[in-house]
């Protein structure tokens, strides 16, 4: 105890020696720092690399799907084939309902005409020297072309006997053949198109009749099984949009209100601790469990319709709530207590303090949390499968109560489509649309946050 020399480095060591000791360790300390920095850079590079590979592969695969084989043909609305009475006109004294019924009868009669013959004839005219069978000619274009012609005629019956040039979408198999997504050396019985159609497609592509056109219909059409080439994302997009609106309308008020109550008003005791732990746990619950809950409660108990965006939105709300509550609470906690004291010290009530001073400051945080939560919900698939949103829906839902699907579910459905060599690219294209939407939402979050923060 009395031995003062026992403690090294104090008193007994000269300044010179002390400096030497520090210098000796310096190299090691700098090396450690360099290693740590190197590891950090490597980690970031690896993460960026993976993201680049992911995006690169998706874009590489998906981008070609936005351009599809399209051709323009002269269509003769042959009066011999299209058996049609003149389009009815509303008679005097005829009730609108009667007129409507008559019109529908006429439309049905028009539909029953042999439109395939009209389509085949117009294709045959593109290569008059090839003795094409009707089947082979029809294979070239997607099957929805006949409805397109019918609709044109219903819209304008004067077309009868006229020749119009019409843009037609190549069939999925034509597209696959021309893009080289199928082995051209395969035997006839293993090809998707007949030999005659393959020859026709190659010839028309060479002549420039079939060209690659931007496929706007990916954004405007609904899903289709009979005419896969014309399948689009419009239905899924609107379904996702409805769900987003439901999530925003439900999750934001409920989430913000719970967060404000828990953070600003609730007494801090066992019960609120328990609630807090459970909210944090909810954020980690696998999403499919929420789907089961939705199926059990919303559909089985409350008898809400299957496949409806309303139910999907409610399930996603349950999933998004913890995210919004946790983020709102942390931004409430970030408000300096001195601000609350200032307001309380002036005699503001607790509610006035929260609504006049605290909440306005947390607005950017809440907004960011909401957009990130909604973006998360937008990309969710599993819970939607359990409430029937993976059904094939060939309509754009008119209301949130109608059957619909969602973008990620559409990706899942296309991914499983048996027409592999066509839908592989289509799936990647749909992923690109979804990712684009996500990036836009996140950019909006960042933009709004910086703007709101600047204003304060």
Partner 1 sequence: MDTTSQEQTKKFEPPAATAAAAVETATQTGSKTRVSARDVNVHYGEKQALFDVSIDIPDRGVTAFIGPSGCGKSTFLRCLNRMNDTIEGCRVTGKILLDDVDIANPDLDVVELRARVGMVFQKPNPFPKSIYENVAYGPRIHGMTSSKDELDEIVYSSLRRAGLYEEVKDRLDQPGTGLSGGQQQRLCIARAIATKPEVLLMDEPCSALDPIATAIIEELIDELRENFTIVIVTHSMQQAARVSQKTAFFHLGKLIEEGPTEQIFTNPLDKKTQDYITGRIG
Query: Would you count residue 271 as binding partner 1 (CB under 8 A)?
Result: no
> Binder to partner 1 among 356, 391, 439, 450 (CB under 8 A)?
356
What does the alpha-carbon distance between residue 312 and residue 410 come to, in Å, rounded to a whole number? Answer: 14
Report the candidate in 324, 304, 447 with the shortest Cα–Cα distance to residue 375.
324
Query: Would you count residue 344 as binding partner 1 (CB under 8 A)?
Result: yes
**Kind plus residue range of the DSSP H or E element containing 277:** helix 270-283
Query: Would you count residue 441 as binding partner 1 (CB under 8 A)?
Result: no
Binding track over 358-397 against partner 1, x by CB under 8 A = ---x------------------------------------
Report the candidate in 411, 416, 401, 414 with the shortest Cα–Cα distance to residue 437.
411
Task: Provide, rounded to whole angstroms, the least separation between the CB of residue 363 and partner 1.
Answer: 12
Query: Would you count residue 20 as binding partner 1 (CB under 8 A)?
Result: no
What does the alpha-carbon distance between residue 226 and residue 112 come to, in Å, rounded to a whole number? Answer: 18
Binding segment toward partner 1, per CB under 8 A, in 86-94, 149-157, 338-346, 429-437: 338-346
**Kind plus residue range of the DSSP H or E element containing 169:** strand 163-169
Query: Would you count residue 6 as binding partner 1 (CB under 8 A)?
Result: no
Classify residue 264 by its DSSP letter.
I
φ, ψ of residue 25 in degrees (nearest 5):
-80, -15
Q: Of the two residues 244 and 343, which places its CB atom closer to partner 1 in the complex?
A: 343
Query: Would you count residue 270 as binding partner 1 (CB under 8 A)?
Result: no
Task: Provide, rounded to whole angstroms, the least separation between the CB of residue 326 and partner 1.
Answer: 21
Task: Provide, rounded to whole angstroms, the least separation between the CB of residue 242 and partner 1.
Answer: 37
Task: Provide, rounded to whole angstroms, the least separation between the CB of residue 274 and partner 1.
Answer: 17
Q: Of the two residues 354 and 374, which places its CB atom closer to partner 1 in the complex?
A: 354
Structure tokens at 282: 């909810």
Residues 6+ apart with CB under 8 A from 347: none
Task: Provide, rounded to whole angstroms, the least separation between the CB of residue 410 and partner 1.
Answer: 45
Name the percent of the chain in helix, strand, coil, to the closest 5. Answer: 65, 5, 25
Query: Would you count residue 454 as binding partner 1 (CB under 8 A)?
Result: no
Pairing of strands 163-169, 210-214: unpaired
Binding segment toward partner 1, per CB under 8 A, in 28-36, 70-78, 188-196, 347-355: 347-355
Query: Would you count residue 452 as binding partner 1 (CB under 8 A)?
Result: no
Task: Provide, rounded to whole angstroms, the least separation between the CB of residue 372 and partner 1.
Answer: 24
Beta bridge partners of 69: 212
What does the alpha-carbon distance between residue 101 and residue 88 come to, in Å, rounded to a whole number? Answer: 10
Structure tokens at 2: 């009395």
Query: Would you count residue 300 as binding partner 1 (CB under 8 A)?
Result: no
Q: Of the two residues 296 and 339, which places its CB atom closer to partner 1 in the complex?
A: 339
Structure tokens at 83: 């058996």
Task: Provide, rounded to whole angstroms, the least separation between the CB of residue 346 and partner 1.
Answer: 4
Quote the radius of gyration of the chain (alpha carbons, Å).
33
Query: Would you count residue 5 as binding partner 1 (CB under 8 A)?
Result: no
Query: Would you count residue 268 as binding partner 1 (CB under 8 A)?
Result: yes
Longest alpha-carbon distance in the chain: 124
Q: Of the two residues 95 and 450, which places its CB atom closer to partner 1 in the complex?
A: 450
Binding segment toward partner 1, per CB under 8 A, in 42-50, 78-86, 352-360, 394-402: 352-360
Structure tokens at 251: 């999750």
Query: Would you count residue 346 as binding partner 1 (CB under 8 A)?
Result: yes
Structure tokens at 200: 């026709």
Query: Would you count residue 351 as binding partner 1 (CB under 8 A)?
Result: no
Task: Provide, rounded to whole angstroms, the least separation between the CB of residue 352 and partner 1.
Answer: 6
Q: Of the two residues 12 and 341, which places its CB atom closer to partner 1 in the complex?
A: 341
> Binder to partner 1 among 109, 257, 277, 342 (CB under 8 A)?
342
> Binder to partner 1 among 357, 396, 442, 444 (CB under 8 A)?
357
- Listing DSSP states for 95-154 in one string gives -HHHHHHHHHHHHHHHHTS-HHHHHHHHHHTTSTTS---HHHHHHHB-TTHHHHHHHHHH
What does the alpha-carbon distance between residue 376 and residue 243 come to, in Å, rounded to a whole number? Answer: 12
Give the distance from CA 25 to its chain's centroid.
56
Number of shown-chain residues binding partner 1 (CB under 8 A) = 19
> Binder to partner 1 among 152, 234, 283, 348 (CB under 8 A)?
348
Q: Of the two residues 225 and 356, which places its CB atom closer to partner 1 in the complex?
A: 356
What does the alpha-carbon distance between residue 226 and residue 231 come to, in Å, rounded to a whole number? Answer: 9
Query: Would you count residue 352 as binding partner 1 (CB under 8 A)?
Result: yes
Query: Would you count residue 456 as binding partner 1 (CB under 8 A)?
Result: yes
What does the alpha-carbon distance between residue 429 and residue 60 come to, in Å, rounded to a whole number? Answer: 10
Q: Which residues of the shown chain bind partner 1 in the complex (CB under 8 A)? A: 268, 336, 338-349, 352, 356-357, 361, 456
């Amino acid at each position: 105890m009395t031995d003062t020399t026992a403690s090294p480095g104090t008193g007994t060591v000269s300044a010179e020696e002390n400096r030497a000791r520090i210098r000796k360790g310096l190299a090691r300390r700098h090396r450690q720092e360099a290693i740590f920095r190197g590891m950090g850079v490597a980690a970031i590079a690896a993460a960026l690399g993976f993201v680049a590979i992911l995006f690169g592969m998706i874009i590489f695969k998906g981008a070609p799907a936005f351009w599809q084989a399209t051709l323009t043909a002269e269509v003769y609305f042959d009066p011999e084939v299209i058996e049609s009475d003149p389009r009815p006109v509303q008679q005097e004294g005829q009730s609108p309902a009667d007129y409507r019924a008559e019109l529908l009868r006429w439309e049905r009669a028009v539909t029953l005409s042999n439109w395939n013959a009209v389509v085949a004839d117009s294709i045959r005219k593109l290569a008059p020297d090839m003795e094409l069978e009707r089947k082979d000619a029809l294979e070239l274009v997607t099957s929805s072309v006949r409805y397109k012609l019918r609709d044109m005629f219903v819209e304008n019956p004067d077309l009868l006997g006229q020749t119009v040039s019409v843009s037609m979408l190549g069939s999925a198999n034509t597209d696959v053949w021309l893009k080289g997504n199928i082995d051209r050396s395969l035997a006839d019985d293993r090809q998707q198109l007949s030999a005659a159609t393959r020859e026709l497609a190659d010839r028309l592509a060479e002549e420039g009749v079939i060209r690659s056109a931007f496929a706007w219909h990916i954004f405007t059409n609904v899903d289709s099984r009979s005419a896969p080439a014309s399948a689009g994302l419009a239905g899924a997009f609107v379904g996702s949009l409805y769900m987003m609106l439901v999530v925003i309308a439900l999750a934001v008020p409920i989430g913000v209100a719970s967060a404000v109550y828990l953070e600003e008003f609730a007494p801090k005791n066992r019960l609120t601790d328990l609630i807090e732990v459970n909210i944090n746990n909810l954020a980690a619950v696998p999403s499919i469990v929420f789907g089961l809950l939705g199926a059990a409660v919303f559909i089985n108990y409350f008898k809400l319709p299957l496949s409806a965006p309303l139910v999907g939105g409610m399930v996603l709300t349950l999933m998004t709530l913890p995210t919004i509550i946790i983020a709102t609470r942390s931004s409430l906690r970030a408000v300096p207590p001195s601000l609350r004291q200032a307001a309380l010290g002036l005699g503001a009530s607790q509610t006035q303090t929260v609504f006049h001073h605290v909440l306005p400051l947390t607005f950017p945080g809440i907004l960011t949390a909401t957009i990130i939560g909604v973006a998360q919900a937008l990309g969710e698939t599993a819970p939607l499968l359990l409430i029937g949103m993976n059904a094939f829906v060939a309509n754009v839902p008119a209301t949130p109560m109608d059957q619909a699907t969602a973008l990620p579910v559409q990706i899942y459905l296309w991914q499983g489509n048996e027409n592999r060599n066509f839908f592989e690219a289509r799936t990647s294209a749909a992923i690109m649309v979804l990712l684009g939407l996500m990036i836009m939402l996140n950019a909006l979050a960042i933009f709004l946050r910086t703007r709101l923060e600047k204003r304060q």
